[in-house]
Amino acid sequence: MSYVPVTPEQRARMLAACGVRSIADLFRDIPSDSAPRSFDIPRARSEMETSAFFRELASRNYSHLTNFLGGGFYDHFIPAAVDAIVSRSEFYTSYTPYQPELSQGTLQAIYEYQTQIARLTGMQAANASVYDGGTALYEACQMALHATGRNRVVMDGGVNPIYRKMLVSYTANLSIEFAEIPVSHGRTDRQRLFDALNAGTAAVILQNPNFFGVIDNHADVVEHCHSRGILVIQSVYPIAMALLKPPGEIGVDIATGEGQSLGIPLAFGGPYLGFMATTRELIRRLPGRIVGRTVDRHGREAFVLTLQAREQHIRREKATSNICTNEALCALRAHVYLSLMGKEGLKEVARLCRAKTAYAMERFRAIRGVRVMESSPVFNEFVVHLPMDAGDAAGMLVERGVAPGLPLGRFYPGMENYLMIAVTEKRTKFEIGMLAESVESVICQ
């Protein structure tokens, strides 16, 4: 089934109209010595068979575990209206809004999304999205390097280790110097960070809450950096922004983050949403699409892609970024989610996350042999030290129907006994109790 509506009879008429005898004539530019050596693809299967095949594969995944995994990617509640709206095919079967007259829906939605992100982060401008939170951080680095003309970046050890790895591989061929400052008591180590700054430093990268769930006020870091002409990039967790000091309130230059928690399913790693917000001064250095509000020739309100002179179809190798296709539909999801949750709803989600996390920490404090890392306050994720390998413990807990958290050994050598537990508004008191009891019985075995 190829979804081709051309009938054999029409095919013959169309070939005749092209002045050729066969389809092969249309492919005559492909040299005969370049014919495929093989094309061994299975025969077509019907919609019923295809559907059954993938249902069977889906059933082999353990998506039903009670989820305490986080690490930057969270199991939040998604209202049904989000799916209902993004399933409107006028949205999902369109493409980049090059023709504004036929794309006012997408364009206005992006403009509104930019506004949501700006308000959430307290910044003055935002773009239409990039691929994910890691790419957003990399693009923010590029902005800072170009804006300052310097080539050194200092990264807090509390930044998601996956993002740190992405930054390193993206910049392997460029002359950029990275320094990484380990956290102290779970927080940004001010002294070591400040010592690592020099005249060549373009930017400092921070994360709030950081990878370990710890919340911080980086105002002092921003002040210290700005007095040295260094820009500050902060990656943030958008749900936490309902309650925590946003980057805009402390003078951060570029705010980025992963938008998955805003109504986007976990989906085994994607598609996700990288958001980027910045100040008025840096707006022309923002990568990707940006939508602006203007008027049409009759004076009616209209939305268009703007500041396109930054982009690669015009600037080619001098473009600010190579990003073209982004994550528009995920941005739409985030926008719909934020619209539904609204001002009070998002705060309530954040409060529930905090309350349930605090309750989980309390339950873990009561387990003999478990140490809760709590020298600094956290948002919805915390680290515990187990008297055994956390990976092994997690493996046993899965058999009890729980994904208990992220073992940290893979990302932080030496932390093999540490487990990081995330609690969202979806977890009940009962489930948290189950987790604590299961951990207790596993470590007692």
Closer residue to other proteins, CB minimum distance, 196 or 355: 355
Which letter, b or e, does each residue of 59-71 get, where b requires 16 or more Cβ atoms within 10 Å of its Cβ? eeeeeebbbbbbb
DSSP H helical segments within 254-389, as ranges? 312-315, 328-365
The residues with which 418 forms a beta bridge, in sequence order, are 385
Q: How far is the CB of 226 from other proteins (least distance, A)?
A: 18
| Backbone angle region of 71, left / alpha / beta, with phi > 0 → left and psi within -120 to 50 → alpha | left
Which residues, in sequence order, are bridge partners of residue 445?
none
Nearer to other proteins, 204 or 341 (CB): 341
User: Of 311-330, which residues contact other proteins (CB under 8 A)?
Assistant: 311-319, 321-330
**Span near other proteins by CB under 8 A; candidates 150-158, 181-189, 268-276, 437-445:** 268-276
Q: Is 32 in the site for other proteins (CB under 8 A)?
A: no
Strand partners, 207: 235
Closest CA to 91 of 272, 332, 340: 332
Would you say 75 and 266 are in contact if contact means Cβ atoms under 8 Å apart? yes
Is residue 387 close enough to count as binding other proteins by CB under 8 A?
Answer: no
Tell me which residues in 64-83 interact with other proteins (CB under 8 A): 64-65, 67, 69, 71-73, 75, 77, 79, 81, 83
* 13 vs 226, beta carbon nearer other proteins: 13
Contact (Cβ atoms closer than 8 angstroms) between residue 409 and residue 389: yes
202 near other proteins, rule: CB under 8 A: no
Nearer to other proteins, 12 or 195 (CB): 12
The one among 148, 151, 170, 440 contacting other proteins by CB under 8 A:
170
Q: Of 255, 259, 258, 230, which is closest to residue 245 (Cα–Cα)? A: 255
| Shortest distance in whole angstroms from residue 313 CB to other proteins | 4
Ramachandran assignment for 405, one of left (phi > 0), alpha (psi -120 to 50 degrees), beta (any other): left
Cβ closest to other proteins, residue 34 vs residue 199: 34
CB of residue 102 to other proteins, shortest distance in Å: 4
Q: Given candidates 182, 200, 229, 342, which one binds other proteins under the rule CB under 8 A?
A: 342
Residues 211-230 contacting other proteins, CB under 8 A:
215-217, 219
Here the tokens at position 299 are 């004076």
- Position 12 contacts other proteins (CB under 8 A): no
Return the residue of 292, 385, 400, 440 that touches other proteins, per CB under 8 A: 292
- State the minimum distance, in angstroms, from the CB of residue 191 to other proteins: 19
DSSP H or E segment with residue 154: strand 152-156
Least CB distance from residue 200 to other proteins, whole Å?
Answer: 19
Q: Which helix (H) or strand (E) holds 148?
A: helix 133-148
Query: How many whole angstroms separate alpha carbon 240 and alpha carbon 254?
Result: 17
Interface residue with other proteins, options 98, 149, 191, 227 (CB under 8 A): 98
Contact status: 15 vs other proteins (CB under 8 A): yes
Query: What span, in angstroms and rounded, lies between the C-alpha atoms of 107 and 88?
Result: 15
* 248's tokens: 């805009």
Q: From the list 149, 191, 300, 413, which residue makes contact with other proteins (rule: CB under 8 A)? A: 300
Q: Does 436 bind other proteins (CB under 8 A)?
A: no
- Smallest distance, Å, CB 193 to other proteins? 18
Indicate whether 358 belongs to the interface with other proteins (CB under 8 A).
Answer: yes
Residue positions counted in the chain: 445
In the chain, the amino acid numbered 275 is F
Under the binding rule (CB under 8 A), the answer on residue 348 touching other proteins is yes
Site string for other proteins, 100-119 (x = CB under 8 A): xxxxxxx-xx-xx-xxx-xx
Angle, in degrees to the nearest 10, between helices 133-148 and 161-170: 50
